[in-house]
Amino acid sequence: MDYRIAGLDPRPFSPFFEMDGRELARRRAVLRVVDDKPGAPCRVTLEDAEPGEQVLLVNFEHLPADSPYRASHAIYVRRSATAARVFVNEVPPALASRLLSVRAFDHAGFMAHADVVEGPGLPALARRFLADPAVAFLHAHYARAGCFAARIDRGQDAI
The ranges assigned to domains in the chain are 3-154
With contact defined as beta carbons under 8 Å apart, do 74 and 29 qualify?
no
Which residues of the chain, if any, have pLDDT below 50? Answer: 158-159
Give the CA angle between residues 149, 151, 153 to the nearest 5°.
Answer: 150
**What's the pLDDT tens digit per position in 52-86?**
999 999 999 998 899 999 999 999 999 999 999 99
pTM: 0.92
- Residue 158 has what pLDDT? 43
In the chain, the percentage of residues whose pLDDT exceeds 90 is: 93
Kindly give, in sequence order, each residue whose CB lies less than 8 Å from that of residue 112, ignoring residues fewer than 6 positions away.
104, 105, 106, 129, 132, 134, 135
